[in-house]
Amino acid sequence: MFAYIRRRALSALIILLVASVLIFGILRLAPGDPAVAIAGPDATAPVIKAIRQSLGLDQNLAVQYWTWLSGLFTGNLHHSYVFGSSVAALLGQALSNTLELALGALICAVVIAVAIGVPAGVSRRPGSARTANLIDSVLYAVPPYVTGVLFVLVFSVALHLFPASGSGPGPWKSSASLHALILPAVCLSLPTAAIVGRFLGSSLRKTSEADFVRTARAKGISEARLVWRHILPNSLPPVLTILGLQIGQLLSGAIIVETVFAWPGLGQLLVNSVTESDYLTTQDILMFAVLVFVIIQLLTDIVNNVFDANRGKRNL
């Protein structure tokens, strides 16, 4: 197990290093000059030159890359002149809101996926399986920006049940915060729920054909106990891998959902930094997103490895 963790950790470090090079290089190819964007259209050449020096943009690319990378390792991020605050403070504030949204969406996705996948995978009624598959297809086909607009029109504008934008006074601190969270969390969770539910149903059908299931039915074990205590646990390893990948997708999907619902998270901060040509802040946000994705994938692989190791020990 420890040898496996070391190998996966080394792979994760290599991925992070390659991602840092790509992010740094691609943003340097983007049109425009951050110094000009900060100084404004009427700034003189000496003012622009002074801003470039303060940002370190007058140094060669290798020095700029090393300065940025060492700052990431030490936590010494630069100051955003566009937003008037340190990038660390901006990330901290936005991260708490995005984690609140992502955690709420993850809980919703798991609940919906189980509600869809279990009937589709184990139900002996053709109508139940077809209905679950139909719901799954609809949830997967409708993009979040369409779902978000529909949610706002129906539940906020027409029915006045939920706020259309913003967040409460703090993550998980009040009923107002949870109330504001429901619509964007459900909206963000639907594509993930559809994918996880589809894989769960497929895995359940495959496990249901195993010899130990037929043996259990021959012994007279109730169907409910067979499904929840034996078929479902043995079907989870591939589903956990997909769920880990989808957690990373939740972060990317948050950009759209946070924009629709004006949720002040990382996605909204990324959109604002790109719009304002704050490329230094943009590369910090992108690198942080890659780091979160890699950590989630690493943890998913470790958990999946533990399930595989223990699956052979599981018996009736």
169-209 per-position pLDDT tens digit? 444 455 556 778 888 999 999 988 888 888 888 888 888 87
Buried b (16+ CB within 10 A) or exposed e, 163-199: bbeebbeebeeeeebeebbbbbbbbbbbbbbbbbbbb
Mean pLDDT of 271-292: 82
- What's the pTM value of the predicted model, to 2 decimals? 0.70
Question: What integer pLDDT is reported at residue 169 of this predicted model?
Answer: 45
Ranges of each domain in the chain: 35-76, 90-311
Collapsing DSSP states into helix, strand and coil, what is residue 79?
A: strand
Distance CA 231, CA 208 (A): 6
- Taken in order 215, 218, 220, 226, the sign of the CA dihedral is positive
Name 314's Cβ contacts closer than 8 Å, sequence gap at least 6. Answer: 230, 233, 234
pLDDT in tens, 228-243: 777 887 787 778 778 8
CATH architecture of 90-311: Orthogonal Bundle (1.10)
Mean pLDDT of 236-251: 76
Mean pLDDT of 11-26: 88
Angle at CA of residue 297, ends 4 and 299, nearest 5°: 60
Greater confidence (181 vs 300) lies with: 181
Question: What integer pLDDT is reported at residue 316 of this predicted model?
Answer: 46
- For the cut 70, the answer to whether the pLDDT of residue 312 exceeds it is no
**DSSP letter string, 20-73:** HHHHHHHHHHSSS-HHHHHH-TT--HHHHHHHHHHHTTTS-HHHHHHHHHHHHH
pLDDT in tens, 48-94: 788 777 777 778 888 888 888 888 887 777 777 777 778 888 888 88
Query: For the chain, what is the mean pLDDT?
Result: 80
